[in-house]
C-alpha cells in the first residue's frame, strides 16, 4: 500500500484538547506531524467533521483547525481518530521541528551517557517532563 502522508509523523504524546465554549474534550494524542495528528477520543467523530484542537507543546500552545479523516472504535468509549490540520501556521511547523530535534538530541545523549537504547517515544516522554 502506498504511503499517503506528506509529513513525517512523530510519536509524541503532547497534551491536547478539543472543544468549544465550556465543553472541552481531553484527547490522548498518539502522534503528530506538520499535517495532522492521531489521537484517542471518548466519542466517535464523523469523517469530514471540523474541529478545533489545542496542542500543548513544551514551550508553546497552538490552536489548530482540523478535519477528521477517520474515527474507528478502539474499545469501550474510545475511538482512534485521525485529523488533518487546515492551514496550520508556519510557526507551528517550526516549533514542531525544533522540539523534535531537541528530543532526538536527548535520545542520542541518553544512549551515549547510559549506554542503553532508548526509543524516540521514551525520549519524548522524558523531554516533556516538567523541569525541576
C-alpha 102/C-alpha 123 separation (Å) is 10
pLDDT in tens, 73-93: 988 888 999 999 998 999 999
Residue 26 has pLDDT above 90, yes or no: no
Do 29 and 69 belong to one domain?
A: yes
Residue 64 belongs to a domain with what CATH number? 2.40.10.220
Total structural domains in the chain? 2
C-alpha 79/C-alpha 41 separation (Å) is 5
8 A C-beta contact, residue 77 and residue 97: no
Do 82 and 20 belong to one domain?
A: yes
Do 81 and 106 belong to one domain?
A: no
* pLDDT value at residue 42: 83
User: Considering the entire predicted model, what is its pTM?
Assistant: 0.82
Assigned C-alpha cell, 78: 474510545
Do 67 and 123 belong to one domain?
A: no
* pLDDT value at residue 2: 44
* pLDDT value at residue 99: 94
Q: Would you say residue 2 lies in a domain?
A: no
Given pLDDT bands bounded at 50, 70 and 90, which one contains residue 132?
Answer: low
pLDDT in tens, 90-124: 999 999 999 999 999 999 998 888 888 889 989 99
SS3 (DSSP) at 105 = helix
C-alpha 55/C-alpha 50 separation (Å) is 16
C-alpha 83/C-alpha 35 separation (Å) is 9
Q: Residue 122: which residues within 8 A CB-CB, separation 6 or more?
A: 107
* pLDDT value at residue 60: 93
8 A C-beta contact, residue 44 and residue 79: yes
Amino acid at each position: 500500500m502506498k504511503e499517503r502522508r506528506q509529513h513525517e509523523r512523530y510519536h509524541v504524546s503532547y497534551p491536547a484538547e478539543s472543544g468549544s465554549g465550556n465543553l472541552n474534550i481531553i484527547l490522548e494524542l498518539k502522534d503528530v506531524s506538520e499535517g495532522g495528528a492521531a489521537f484517542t477520543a471518548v466519542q466517535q467523530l464523523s469523517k469530514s467533521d471540523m474541529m478545533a484542537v489545542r496542542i500543548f507543546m513544551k514551550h508553546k500552545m497552538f490552536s489548530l483547525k482540523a478535519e477528521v479523516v477517520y474515527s474507528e472504535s478502539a474499545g469501550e468509549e474510545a475511538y482512534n481518530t485521525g485529523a488533518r490540520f487546515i492551514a496550520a501556521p508556519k510557526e507551528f511547523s517550526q516549533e514542531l521541528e525544533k522540539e523534535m530535534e531537541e528530543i532526538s538530541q536527548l535520545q542520542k545523549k541518553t544512549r551515549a551517557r547510559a549506554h542503553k537504547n532508548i526509543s524516540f517515544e521514551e525520549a519524548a516522554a522524558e523531554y516533556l517532563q516538567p523541569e525541576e
